[in-house]
Amino acid sequence: MRHKKFSACAMAAVAALTLSACSSGDDDSSGSEGGETLTVGIKFDQPGLGLQKGSEYSGFDVDVAYYVADKLGYSEDQVEFVQSVTAQRETMLENGQVDMVVATYTMNEAREEQIDFAGPYLVAGQGLLVKEDDDSITGPDSLDGKNLCSVSGAVPAQRIKDEYSTGVQLYEASTYSECVELLGNGTIDAVTTDDSILAGYADAPEYEGKFKLVGEAFSEEPYGIGLPNGSDQCEPANDALNEMIEDGSWDKFLEENLGDAYTPDPATNPPEVGGSCS
Ligand code: GLU
């Protein structure tokens, strides 16, 4: 689903990479009375999940964000999207630059020490994206001697370093679109991150026929909505996510945004929403 919305604040913030001027602040983020804003960190460069094109935002995470915001009492006009790249998400929540993050954000213990999560609302799994004509990479154990790209601060980058192929060269970019560019021009051999994200790139019109996902998913990445520690929006967000799954919106958002490109593992999806609220 595409949402058109001009947000001078969000766009200026992205340009300047200083987002504090757009924050709704600590004391006005718990409801919509008085017409205040909910500032939501999303990805701007992940087709099918979180994508910004001019003043349009689209993707599964965007639809989830609008749905939850609505249940929390915010209209679409009150939602401001800002870019939150992987490595910046906890920091942006901790210093109030965003009120929530809906950005392919894996819930895990290390992050839960810093922030709260509502969710999960989707369980993805780590995968590998290679060039369409590459038959030499078949899974995480066939990466020795290869150049791999992932994103700094991401769980999948860390997993490769910790658990797989010691002979792999890992380049850590700041966004996945940078990795995909490098794969396209042959600088690297594979991109690793969640299969949902990789499927979104493989299916994007500009990359049609260029890339393929290989092997089985080799992790579980439960996506949560990141919130500041102790947020009183955490339980209401869990309730909203449950409703989203029960009323059919979850299926609809998946179909509209990822369609045939990606089918989440039915053994773990739709997930049981439990949340990690402090
Ligand atoms: N879900 C993984 C993570 O949160 C990878 C995707 C991302 O970098 O946003 O680390």
Q: Give me the DSSP letters along 124-185.
A: E-EEEEEETT--S--SGGG-TT-EEEEETT-HHHHHHHHHS-TT-EEEEESSHHHHHHHHHT
Confidence label for 71 from pLDDT (cuts 50, 70 and 90)? very high
* pLDDT over 90 at 221, yes or no: yes
> Atom 5 of ligand 1 has which residue's CA nearest to it?
154
CA–centroid distance, residue 56 to ligand 1 (Å): 23
Same domain for 205 and 180, yes or no, is yes
The residue whose CA has the least distance to atom 6 of ligand 1 is 104
Same domain for 159 and 146, yes or no, is: yes
Q: Which of 90, 155, 180, 192 to mutate to test the pocket of ligand 1 (most atoms within 8 A of CB)?
A: 155
- Domain span including residue 192: 126-214
* Least confident range of 3-7, 93-97, 177-181: 3-7
pLDDT at 176: 98
* 130, 207: one domain: yes
Per-residue pLDDT tens for 34-48? 569 999 999 999 999
Phi first, then psi: what are they for 225, rounded to 5°? -90, 115
| Alpha-carbon dihedral angle through residues 109, 113, 119, 123, given to the nearest 10 degrees | -30
**Residue whose CA is closest, atom 1 of ligand 1?**
106
Is the CB–ligand 1 distance for residue 151 below 6 Å? yes
- Ligand 1 pocket test: pick from 221, 225, 262 the residue with the most ligand atoms within 8 Å of its Cβ: 221
Does residue 85's CB lie within 6 angstroms of at least one atom of ligand 1?
Answer: no
101 domain residue, yes or no: yes
Write out pLDDT tens, residues 113-127. Answer: 999 999 999 999 999
Specify the DSSP class assigned to residue 195: H
- Give pLDDT, residue 2: 66
Question: Does 266 map to a domain?
Answer: no
Q: How many structural domains comprise the chain?
A: 2
pLDDT at 18: 42
Instruction: Please provide the average confidence, as pLDDT, over all residues in the chain.
Output: 90
Same domain, 116 and 228: yes
Residue 80 and residue 152 in one domain: no
Give the position, in ligand 1's atom list, of the atom nearest the Cα of 103.
Answer: 9
Ligand 1 neighbourhood includes 154 CB (under 6 angstroms): yes
41 lies in the same domain as 119 = yes
Distance 86 CA to ligand 1 centre (A): 6
Residue 82 located in a structural domain: yes
For residue 185, pLDDT over 80 is answered with yes
The Cα 255–Cα 250 span in angstroms is 9
Task: State the sign of the Cα–Cα–Cα–Cα dihedral 109, 110, 111, 112.
Answer: positive
HEC profile of 115-139: EEEEEEEEEECEEEEEECCCCCCCC
193 lines ligand 1 (CB under 6 A): yes
Q: Residue 273 domain-assigned? A: no
Residues 119 and 234 in one domain: yes
| 84 and 201 housed in the same domain | no
Question: Which ligand 1 atom is at minimum distance from the Cα of 86?
Answer: 8
Question: pLDDT band at 276, cuts 50/70/90?
Answer: confident
Cα atoms in the Cβ-side hemisphere of radius 13 Å centred on 59: 27
Question: Above 90 in pLDDT, residue 103?
Answer: yes
Contact 137, 147 (CB under 8 A): no
Same domain for 131 and 97, yes or no, is no
Residue given tokens 């995480």 in the structure block? 140
User: CA 183, CA 152: separation in Å to the nearest integer?
Assistant: 17
Mean pLDDT, residues 206-211 taken together: 95
Same domain, 75 and 92: yes
pTM of the model: 0.89
In a domain, 248, yes or no: yes
Q: Do residues 228 and 101 share a domain?
A: yes
Q: How far apart (Å, rounded) are the C-alpha atoms in residues 142 and 167?
A: 10
pLDDT of 25 above 60: no
Q: Does 134 fall in a domain? A: yes
In this structure, are residues 224 and 122 in contact, taking their beta carbons and an 8 Å threshold?
Answer: no
Q: What CATH number has the domain bearing residue 145?
A: 3.40.190.10
Neighbours of 118 (CB within 10 A): 29
Q: Are residues 180 and 144 in the same domain?
A: yes
- pLDDT-based confidence at 20, cuts 50/70/90? very low
**179 found inside a domain:** yes
3-state secondary structure of 37: coil
Q: 224 C-alpha vs ligand 1 centroid, how far in Å? A: 11
* pLDDT at residue 77, as a whole number: 96
For ligand 1, say whether the CB of 155 is within 6 Å of any of its atoms. yes
Q: Is residue 50 part of a domain?
A: yes
Residue 24 has pLDDT above 90, yes or no: no
- For residue 106 and ligand 1, the question of a CB distance below 6 A is answered with yes
Give the helix/strand (H/E) hosting 80: strand 79-83
46 touches ligand 1 (CB under 6 Å):
no
Name which residue leads in pLDDT, 9 or 212.
212
